[in-house]
Amino acid sequence: MVMYSPEISRSDPVDKATLATLIFLGTEIMFFAGLISSFLILRAGTPNWPPPGQPRYPILITGFNTLFLLVSGATMFRAVKAAQGHRRKRWLLATFGFGTLFLGIQGVEWVKLVEYGMTFTSSIYGGLFYTLIGCHALHLVIALVILIFVIFRSGFGTKTHPLLSLCSLYWYFVVGIWPLLYTLVYLL
């Protein structure tokens, strides 16, 4: 008969904060899955896409802008892997800069689209665009606020700080969902 031995059967549990973050990210994935599903269903039901009289999305500039967001994911990875606190802070500031640049360019695009007559209420084309892309932008703003908090409030030693680990999970989610949104909304 084999007796239960906690030393043998125990594995390293995921800490509560990481588990909570992963559960939260699971709900965020479901949220975006719902938005994307709605987008695909409504788009499929519209005979002319894009509708006549609506401006076309800025595919090229958004493609270049996508690179800034992807680079921010790489700089976040470098920040997590950095061994020294001052190097980590530089990578986090670079991440913040690339994320802010992405958001700023997106804001300029939105202003131009509104000037061309595409608003949230102008058509289903505009409504879907601003809902999907706006939700991503909101998530990026939240990620930037969290990142500022991590930069200024956490102590940086030689090992990864727990706040940085949680922030990086959220950042990777925001970066990771964007190529899917860009492909679906801008390219298809």
pLDDT tens digits, the chain, 188 residues: what are they? 555 444 544 555 678 888 999 999 999 999 999 999 999 999 898 888 888 888 889 999 999 999 999 999 999 999 988 855 667 888 999 999 999 999 999 999 999 999 998 989 988 889 999 999 999 999 999 999 999 998 887 655 555 577 888 999 999 999 999 999 999 999 98
Q: How far is CA 59 from CA 41, 77, 129, 184, in A?
A: 22, 27, 13, 12
With b for 16 or more beta-carbon neighbours within 10 A and e for fewer, the 57-93 pattern comes to bbeeebeebbebbebbbebbbbbbebeeeeebbebbe
Task: Tell me the HSE value of 177 on the side-chain side, using a 13 A CA sphere.
Answer: 24
Closest CA to 107 of 137, 63, 142: 137
Phi, psi of 46 (to 5 degrees): -105, 120
Task: Tell me the HSE value of 164 on the side-chain side, using a 13 A CA sphere.
Answer: 26
pTM of the model: 0.86
Alpha helices in 48-161 (DSSP H): 59-81, 85-115, 124-153
Domains and CATH numbers, the chain: 55-187 (1.20.120.80)
